[in-house]
Structure 1
Amino acid sequence: MARSSLTRIFSRLWKRSYEGASTGRRTAGWGTMRNQHAAAEAARRPLTNRSRYLVANNPHAAAAKAAWVAALVGTGVVPAVTDKLAAQWTAWTDEADADGLSDFYGLTAIMVGGMVVDGEALALKIATPAGLRIRVLDPDQLDASLTRPLVDGGRIVNGVEFDVFGTRVAYWIVKEQPEIGLGLTLSPVRVPAEDVIHMFRVDFPGQVRGISWFAPALLRLAEHDEWHGAQLTRQKIGALLTGFVTTNDGAAPFSGDSQGDALIGSMEPGALNVLPPGKDVSFSDPPAIAQEANDFARITLREIATALGLPYEVLTGDLSSVNYSSIRAGLVEWRRRIEMIQHNVIVFQALRPIWHRWVMIETLAGRIDDRVEDLLPVRWITPKVQWVDPAKDVQAEIDAINAGLMSRREAVAARGMDIGALDTEIAADKAREATLGLSFNAAARTAQPGEVAA
């Protein structure tokens, strides 16, 4: 008896405090992930392939990719520079693409789209006599099969080379895409890390390569596709309204075409047909889509939106259940996440290294007179976010400028414009208006005596 009491006491003391870590019937089918590195290495390629397929074929997956690219890049994340340097940067953006298919901001959008779908984006910084050029590569060109230790204490993991201190020093890249029939060499080439842009969202410490952002949503997206196919089949069956004529003597109550022993008849709209005794007409009762099916679809889409980090309204375009306050509150939280990714991933991993290389090349070529050290620190300004009520948004900016919380330079740069070019354009407009004797209401507040221009 005493032993039984002690057993109960110790079992209470040893009982797990975290129910999620308990064992038993309730947790028997739960999955676990012991090693994130190994799991990511094994799952990266299947997740990428399935994500690419869904984005190409599933409308919600395609909308999710487009929504993230538009939110993160928009018309372009621009450096906060002015005057001659801004003009030189703008001129270079049109020539940035080594393949000549887009400008620099288009390249950024391609890289961000690749990061969302494939989990990572890969590009080369190429120094040419005409200046810096960027070539975006397929992430599959980074040889994921190359993993081995090195004699100097370093290692290569999934095509990324690390030195003895764990610093990325090189990437092993296949120079050409594995196109069929061209007979190209697919041996990887060692490219120094300073010449490579490798952009991905870091989800855990020590992560080597990126994981598709669609990973948490793939199962739900596939199930939603299956549900949609099943409901479409149900709708087609529901459209098959068929009439059945029952007779006792085999005579047809309607006229029609004979097909063997069957008579295929028809009923004209507005016709009155009198059936003789012993004859009856009945119709099929095809199934209709119940309300719970629509509710299930809506719940599934909300789960997909949550897994993709998107507001439900952005993913689906369904604004039937929102008002001004609710949509604004939802977008505010999403835009915090957008800003975090813009500055922690896109700016840090891609835009800053490209800016540094561009400044160095332009300075060495004598096209920029300033010192490199003075030009490297630069702030990046993301595109201006449009609100539902633009009048209130503009007024809030004016109030922030007047209160000293924002400069005109920042407000103008957020619209993708250079403040020097804007001021020159405004002055030219006013001079032309004065020459022509025109007068318009001033769109901006005129600085009062004693005030310092922002």
Structure 2
Amino acid sequence: MNIVDKIIEYISPQTALKRERARAATHMIRNFINSGYSESGASRRKKSLAGWNAVSKSPYEDIDLNLDLLRQRSRDLYMSAPLAVSALKTNRTNIIGAGLKLKSRIDFEYLGLTKEEADEWERNAEREFEIWANSVFCDSTRLNNFYELQQLALLSWLMNGDAFALIKYDKPTSYMPYGLRIHLIEADRVSTPDNVIVNQGIVKAANGNKILNGIEIDNNGCVVAYYICNQYPNSTLLEFKKKWTRVEAFGERTGNPNILHIMESERCEQYRGVPYLAPVIESLKQITRYAEAELTAAVITGFFTVFIKTDNNTSEIPITSPIPDEEQLELDESSYELGAGTVNVLRPGEDVVIADPKRPSSNFDSFVNALAKYIGAALEIPYELLTKSFTASYSASRAALLEAWKAFKMRRTWFANDFCQPIYEIWLAEAVARGRISAPGFFNDIAIRKAWCGAEWTGPSPGQIDPVKEVEAAIKRIEQGLSTREKETTELTGGDWDKNIIQIQRENELLKRAMKGDEKSE
């Protein structure tokens, strides 16, 4: 204690006690502020962080309120930015490819079947599913078969943040015995109706549930229904009056989904997806502008344009422009055009000064490649795959492909769970109900139904940089019991081992007959 504290304590012990408590509290606060993240990412004293006022709110405020602009910019990049197109189509090609194929995997032990009986049932189910899946009649618009719908749904999901598939039914016909139809709609059409109740900024349905960006949720946060507009909200083709249809998320009696919502969540209690390109929209736009500027500079540099200066207006120069009149962009006499071999005659007193910014830049390629690596890291696509440039060593290229394949497999699993499997289960229920497939107990017990609905969805394989090494590694894994022939066939070629064995057996029999025929002829 200093002399002042001693005097205060002598005159007023209570005041001295308060001063001591205040001093202790201040000491505790200072120790608290100067601990942990307060001296790193949460520091408010460091000059490098002093102006960084980050504020995060609810998923609705951070995501939903910005979705419309994010979607428009994402679509614009898909239509104008080469790297953005590559990112989306690389995902589509590696995740879906020609389509995820059904491989039925029923729980035959639980169903009381032998392995041979299960194999026969699975082949029959796959054969029957192909009748529906390989026809454009599975699409309510009759434009795509099921496998083409897959790539469209995935591309819509990545570009817009989420995609929706309506479950519809039509009358079966002699050429299509199933009534199930899939209708894909883009994210824009799932939106909040105009004529809803707004109370203190909260949009509510007539039943009191909240509506967040076209999705109705109850007091427990469960998704109850979706509101679908009959047209795009931003469209100027106002052919019909705007009207929203409320579609319940699940059937009350069956529990089957009436609409499939495909999205990737990044935050808890998030009900709408974010476009795949959202974190790199600015980078992609800037690099596109830079590339366009360099391309324009290269074109201008390649032009050989002559400008002729005259002292009066009466000078006649017997040189004409190589650009025909009908191809000229500007017919105004005060305008001049640049072009290969173009000749422009200037008026008296006019001069042309062309800036020389030393373009195209010699650093263009290295800068774009560096930025492509930066963008690829954010999108989980290695630079080599994003730019389709495999100039590194075998080990580096293979490591890049394997790293990318982790993300592709993850999204393939999500897509199969959210799109392919629910549609297959709905189709199988119809097939059993119509008597085209026999599945005893299918509608009696949910456990039995799930056992009949077991399936895997196989897609394109990762591909091999050195097929010999890949096959040798696969053989060793099979020999050591680390993998199976079926799994390796799927991962190496995307094929079906069971069908391969049947085909090999047939080919061997044909080869034996051919060899016997040759021996007899000799």
Q: TM-score interval w.r.t. the shorter chain?
A: 0.7 to 0.9
Could you say which residue in structure 2 is the equivalent of 1:213? 276
Separation in structure 1 between the aligned mates of residue 292 and residue 33 of structure 2, nearest angstrom: 50
Aligned to 1:135, the other structure's residue is in SS state strand
Alignment match of 1:300 (pick from 371, 376, 380) = 371
Contact 1:16 1:22 in 2 (8 A): no
Contact 1:63 1:315 in 2 (8 A): yes
For the structure 1 residues 334 and 12, does the alpha-carbon distance in structure 2 shift closer, same or farther, using more than 3 Å as the test? Answer: same
Deviation at residue 352 of structure 1 after TM alignment = 1.9
Alignment match of 1:187 (pick from 239, 243, 253) = 243
Alignment match of 2:423 (pick from 354, 359, 378) = 354
Alignment match of 1:396 (pick from 465, 473, 494) = 473
For the structure 1 residues 329 and 413, does the alpha-carbon distance in structure 2 shift closer, same or farther, using more than 3 Å as the test? Answer: closer
Contact 2:190 2:214 in 1 (8 A): yes
Contact 1:163 1:169 in 2 (8 A): yes
For the structure 1 residues 359 and 309, does the alpha-carbon distance in structure 2 shift closer, same or farther, using more than 3 Å as the test? Answer: same
| Structure 2 counterparts to residues 167-178 of structure 1, below 5 A | 167-176=222-231
Amino acid of the structure 2 residue aligned with 1:396: A
| Structure 2 counterparts to residues 188-267 of structure 1, below 5 A | 188-193=244-249, 194-236=257-299, 238-239=301-302, 259-260=310-311
| Structure 2 counterparts to residues 73-84 of structure 1, below 5 A | 73-81=96-104, 82-84=122-124
1:137 and 2:206 are equivalent in the alignment = no
Structure 2: 5+ residue runs without aligned partners? 6-22, 105-121, 197-201, 250-256, 320-353, 443-448, 518-522
1:429 and 2:507 are equivalent in the alignment = yes
| Structure 2 counterparts to residues 131-170 of structure 1, below 5 A | 131=178, 132-144=180-192, 148-150=203-205, 154-170=209-225
Amino acid of the structure 2 residue aligned with 1:21: A
Separation in structure 1 between the aligned mates of residue 82 and residue 516 of structure 2, nearest angstrom: 51
Could you say which residue in structure 2 is the equivalent of 1:330? 400
Contact 1:241 1:285 in 2 (8 A): no
Could you say which residue in structure 2 is the equivalent of 1:107? 149
TM (norm. structure 1) is 0.79
For the structure 1 residues 187 and 9, does the alpha-carbon distance in structure 2 shift closer, same or farther, using more than 3 Å as the test? Answer: closer
Aligned to 2:483, the other structure's residue is in SS state coil
Aligned to 1:124, the other structure's residue is in SS state strand
Structure 1: 5+ residue runs without aligned partners? 245-256, 267-282, 440-454
Deviation at residue 66 of structure 1 after TM alignment = 0.5
Separation in structure 2 between the aligned mates of residue 200 and residue 284 of structure 1, nearest angstrom: 49
Separation in structure 2 between the aligned mates of residue 366 and residue 346 of structure 1, nearest angstrom: 29
CA RMSD of aligned residues (A): 3.4
Contact 1:243 1:284 in 2 (8 A): no
For the structure 1 residues 265 and 241, does the alpha-carbon distance in structure 2 shift closer, same or farther, using more than 3 Å as the test? Answer: farther
For the structure 1 residues 157 and 243, does the alpha-carbon distance in structure 2 shift closer, same or farther, using more than 3 Å as the test? Answer: closer
Separation in structure 2 between the aligned mates of residue 241 and residue 32 of structure 1, nearest angstrom: 54
Separation in structure 1 between the aligned mates of residue 317 and residue 377 of structure 2, nearest angstrom: 52
Alignment match of 2:85 (pick from 37, 51, 62) = 62
Contact 1:75 1:416 in 2 (8 A): no
Aligned to 1:121, the other structure's residue is in SS state strand
Aligned to 2:211, the other structure's residue is in SS state strand
Alignment match of 1:368 (pick from 437, 449, 471) = 437
1:45 and 2:68 are equivalent in the alignment = yes
Identity %: 25
1:378 and 2:400 are equivalent in the alignment = no
Could you say which residue in structure 2 is the equivalent of 1:23? 44
Per-residue CA shift, 1:239-280, capped at 9, x if unaligned?
468999xxxxxxxxxxxx8844799999xxxxxxxxxxxxxx
Separation in structure 1 between the aligned mates of residue 238 and residue 32 of structure 2, nearest angstrom: 69
Per-residue CA shift, 1:260-317, capped at 9, x if unaligned?
4799999xxxxxxxxxxxxxxxx99772444444433222222222222211111112
Contact 2:384 2:400 in 1 (8 A): no
For the structure 1 residues 70 and 228, does the alpha-carbon distance in structure 2 shift closer, same or farther, using more than 3 Å as the test? Answer: same
1:90 and 2:146 are equivalent in the alignment = no
Per-residue CA shift, 1:206-240, capped at 9, x if unaligned?
11011101111110111112222332344355446
Amino acid of the structure 1 residue aligned with 2:502: T
Per-residue CA shift, 1:145-200, capped at 9, x if unaligned?
57733565632221112234322222111245577557324311111211111101
Could you say which residue in structure 1 is the equivalent of 2:388? 317
Contact 1:220 1:303 in 2 (8 A): no
Number of residue-to-residue matches in the alignment: 408
Separation in structure 2 between the aligned mates of residue 121 and residue 285 of structure 1, nearest angstrom: 49
Could you say which residue in structure 1 is the equivalent of 2:339? none
Per-residue CA shift, 1:99-128, capped at 9, x if unaligned?
222221111111111111101111112233
Amino acid of the structure 2 residue aligned with 1:23: R
Contact 2:385 2:401 in 1 (8 A): no
Separation in structure 1 between the aligned mates of residue 34 and residue 292 of structure 2, nearest angstrom: 47
Amino acid of the structure 2 residue aligned with 1:370: A
